[in-house]
Amino acid sequence: MKEVILLKYGEIVLKGLNRSFFNTKLESRVRRALKSVEGEFYFDYAQSTLCITPSDDADIDGAYERVKKVFGIATVCRGLACEKDMEDIKRVLAENIDELLGNAKTFKCDAKRSDKKFPLKSPEICAICGGIVLENRPDMKVDVINPERVITIEIRDRQAFIHGNGEKGAGGVPVGSSGRAMLMLSGGIDSPVAGHMIARRGAAIDAVYFETPPYTGELAAEKVRTLAEILTEYCGEIYLHSVSLTEVQETLVATCKEKLFTLLLRRFMVRCASRLAERYGAGCLITGESLGQVASQTMQALAVTDAVATVPVLRPCVGLDKEEIVVRAREIGTFDTSILPYEDCCTVFTPKHPDTRPDMAEILEEEAKLDVEGLVERALATDHFVKLG
Ligand code: ATP
Ligand code: MG
């Protein structure tokens, strides 16, 4: 008897005419996720469910962990394949009853027939299978309203499957179905979460990290790279750019009002990130900002940084509390890396009394003292990237 992985598609099922576009995308994302897993995997799609049959030598546990991170999938479960024959279904059910039930005390059976020619109707299949469960596990009780475990019997074209409750999949829509975005990735807690949220809505991700050597070191860059690598488990490949803002920082410190350092620097970041987005075909920027979290994230401060963006700036964390962002960071596996204590270029030059209600005229006055275009161009000349994932 063979074990399979069943992936129930999420909201792409609702996509009407575009559905085959989304299906193709999702299937290719799943194939990609399984590329590094040992063994061969055969795909069969029907009724909003992708069935993955592994070869005998395949690492099915590894495959299961990988597909749980693929966006576009609502539910993931492991199922048992059997012949389309009631005797075989009964045998497989009886032989695997304990694993199928887990430690549940109540259950119900549910049958799905995509092959309408199968001689038994769904209620009959349920009645027979429910009987098998009770025969083998007299301690179990049927509860059709609120069962702890649902045992599902699916009758497909070529074979039948039996499975217990699935686990929640990664949700969202497949990466690559909503274009490309440039993530401003800092090494903090928020920006990896922001990147994950937008990738979950279907954007392929590129990332840019602004460094300020020698004020920021190799360890900080390494940390950002690790974060980007964790994100590739969800988003697939990421081009991680590094751009040096050392000249910008030093010029700001030498020339401008201290209370505006952070905001002026952030405007340079957004200018550079916008140029990179245009150069590499990204339709928007992503930042980890959350309204009111720090001085540079007040509404006025966001307006000041947005004003130099040439593509839309997405801030998916804008309405989340820090606690909520931390919960997500733990879930996606970036938190422990994010809290490693390496300096960030924002923190190195943080003003003691940052302006929380910046005045645009004053910002422009400060920038008039600078060769903004030259600084941006020289910063972008330091751009170098690695391909991850
Ligand atoms: P994070 O936890 O993501 O660092 P934060 O709360 O520390 O966010 P800031 O340091 O003000 O906030 O930065 C706001 C956003 O600007 C970050 O979420 C990130 O998207 C971007 N950003 C900040 N510093 C950098 C950097 N060195 N390189 C790239 N992007 C950055
Ligand atoms: Mg930060």
Q: What would the mean pLDDT of 339-348 be, rounded to a whole number?
A: 73
Q: Is 287 in the pocket of ligand 1 (CB under 6 A)?
A: yes
pTM of the model: 0.91
To which H or E segment does residue 289 belong? Answer: none
pLDDT the model gives residue 346: 58
pLDDT the model gives residue 238: 97
- If you measure from the C-alpha of residue 287 to the centroid of ligand 1, how many angstroms do you get, rounded to a whole number? 7
Residue 53 has pLDDT above 70, yes or no: yes
Q: Whose CA is nearest to atom 4 of ligand 1?
A: 188
> Considering every ligand atom, which ligand is closest to the CA of 297?
1
Residue 205 has pLDDT above 70, yes or no: yes
Q: Whose CA is nearest to atom 16 of ligand 1?
A: 287
Q: Is 195 in the pocket of ligand 1 (CB under 6 A)?
A: no
Q: Measure Cα distances from 87 to 83, 91, 128, 154 in Å.
A: 9, 6, 10, 15
SS3 292: coil
Residue 8 has pLDDT above 70, yes or no: yes
Q: Which of 61, 53, 56, 3 is nearest to 37 (CA)?
A: 61
Q: Which domains does the chain have, with CATH numbers?
A: 2-168 (3.30.2130.30), 180-388 (3.40.50.620)
Which of the listed residues 231, 238, 346 should we mutate to test ligand 1's pocket, taking the one with most ligand atoms within 8 A of CB?
A: 346
Query: Cβ neighbours of residue 229 under 8 Å, at least 6 residues apart?
Result: 388, 389
- If you measure from the C-alpha of residue 346 to the centroid of ligand 2, how many angstroms do you get, rounded to a whole number? 7
Mean pLDDT is lowest, of 23-27, 124-128, 142-146, 294-298, for 294-298
Share above pLDDT 90 across residues of the chain, in percent, rounded to a whole number: 83
pLDDT the model gives residue 356: 83
Which of the listed residues 182, 185, 191 should we mutate to test ligand 1's pocket, taking the one with most ligand atoms within 8 A of CB?
A: 191
> Considering every ligand atom, which ligand is closest to the CA of 339?
1
